[in-house]
Amino acid sequence: MAANSANLTHRNGSSESPQDSTWSPSSWKSKPIKQEAVYSDQKAVEKAFLKLERLPPIVTPSEIVKLKSSLQDVALGKAFLLQGGDCAELFDYCEESAIESKVKLLLQMSLVLIWGSNKPVVRIARMAGQYAKPRSSPTEIVDGKEFSSFRGDILNGYDLDERDLDPSRLVTAYFHSAATSNFIRASLASGIADLHKPLDWGLGHVQDPELQSKYSAIVASITDSLRFMKTVGADTAGQLQTVDLFTSHEGLLLDYEQRLTRRLKRPSSSPSVPQTDAKTTDDGKAYYNTSAHFVWVGDRTRQLDGAHIEYFRGIENPIGVKIGPTTPSSDLLPLLRKLNPRREIGKVTLITRYGASKVRNLLPEHIRTVEGSEYRQTVVWQCDPMHGNTRSTSTGIKTRRFADIFSELQETLAIHKEEGSYLGGVHLELTGAAVTECLGGSEGLEEEDLSLNYTTFCDPRLNEKQALEMAFLIAGHYRAEQ
């Protein structure tokens, strides 16, 4: 996690405060909402809400402000953002080995990216709260019968007899999030990220001899660099013993997010909010979503006048917005003006997800719209090459091709270079387990291999070998440009 805060900056211009007199953690209720959760037992719902309101924050303002400072560096091209984790986190993933495997994978990937980009890497995990998932339809047909769709463990269960929305799961989600976050903190404090310890870089799965030689050379270079730092004593300040790892999830279930939004004292280095109303005074506090360090608005819920944008515009956290083929360029600046009126650098991350075949036609105009406006060099551009490349096999199994994922990422890198903008990060659905959900990669997974260990309850994820290979490929791109 993180502990210290740092100074933040914003572009000169607008003095509007996002937390004006018209906003409150519940003001979203006055707006139309998508993906709403409708419960049948309102008494149980209110009981769960009251419980959530009494529970302590999961993350702190100082940690949130530290992430904002780090993302400011990303927006300015001084750092790179790695964000990854499960598509739909399950309560069952709140378990030692599952958490450790993802933390270690993100650490290894970040080392490769540091080596390739020659820049610090900001690490954000899709963990400790990614329990809600948007669905294209509220119901599905199973064996000729209609059931409510599985909407994530925070709302209902995957088993057909658990599909009714259960408000007690809101509180259960909180405790699983808190337990996961606390274990991550304890693991980092206990040295899980200590680079004095040997890392398992096993590359035996790489079938192509040329690729294996290339990846082995990268590993040797990283290992030699770490050994050199230890030898000359460059690690005496403890920088090699731990790292910052922030948590994130899609802020889909606004009733839950509202109850964990707290008005708390700003860290001493956090900038004060400009006063916009003579009747109001800055009391040194602000509204923080304390369920995670970073939350994002999904592609299905980013309507300009919708409930989600209304909620997100008032919180101090850094936030993301998914941008895809259905996003008109004319929506981008109104979105930014609502979500970031003070033009804080790094406050908003635009997470682009088009699909390999569409990115060339759509991304350039989106970049020009933003970078040609007053928001030039204020946003973090991040590529999500996963969601636009989902397909189904002939037998109806959802999957993604590794080649398509990397193709969209390559094309995105090329377009940003052409437009003079900076691709600041990548957003991947991945797991530290040896699943078989995405096709291709150095393992050469084929359609017939999917049944070997296909365990996702939602979208297909890169396994640990495919995810590390993706990091190698990104690093190779940046290394070649130096």
Q: Kind and range of the H or E element at 158?
A: none
The answer to whether 398 is a known ligand-binding residue is: no
Q: What's the CA gap between 119 and 121, in Å, rounded?
A: 6
Q: Which residues contact 438 (CB under 8 A, 6 or more apart)?
A: 399, 400, 401, 402, 405, 445, 460, 461, 462, 463, 466
- Residue 152 has phi, psi (to 5 degrees) of 105, 150
The answer to whether 94 is a known ligand-binding residue is: no
Nearest alpha-carbon partner for 429 in 276, 248, 285: 248
The answer to whether 259 is a known ligand-binding residue is: no
Report yes or no: 477 and 416 within 8 Å, Cβ to Cβ: no
The answer to whether 353 is a known ligand-binding residue is: yes
The answer to whether 300 is a known ligand-binding residue is: no
- By CB atoms closer than 10 A (0-12, 13-18, 19+), residue 76 is middle
Nearest alpha-carbon partner for 201 in 185, 224, 230, 181: 224
Residue listed under structure tokens 């635009």:
350
Q: What's the CA gap between 210 and 203, in Å, rounded?
A: 12
Q: What is the largest CA-CA distance in the chain?
A: 70
Report yes or no: 250 and 135 within 8 Å, Cβ to Cβ: no
353's tokens: 């997800």
Query: Collapsing DSSP states into helix, strand and coil, what is residue 351?
Result: strand
Nearest alpha-carbon partner for 86 in 396, 434, 362, 461: 461
The answer to whether 322 is a known ligand-binding residue is: yes
Q: What's the CA gap between 476 and 108, in Å, rounded?
A: 15
The answer to whether 477 is a known ligand-binding residue is: no
For the annotated binding site, the residues are: 87, 126, 322, 353, 387, 429, 459
For the annotated binding site for phosphoenolpyruvate, the residues are: 126, 322, 353
For the annotated binding site for Mn(2+), the residues are: 87, 387, 429, 459
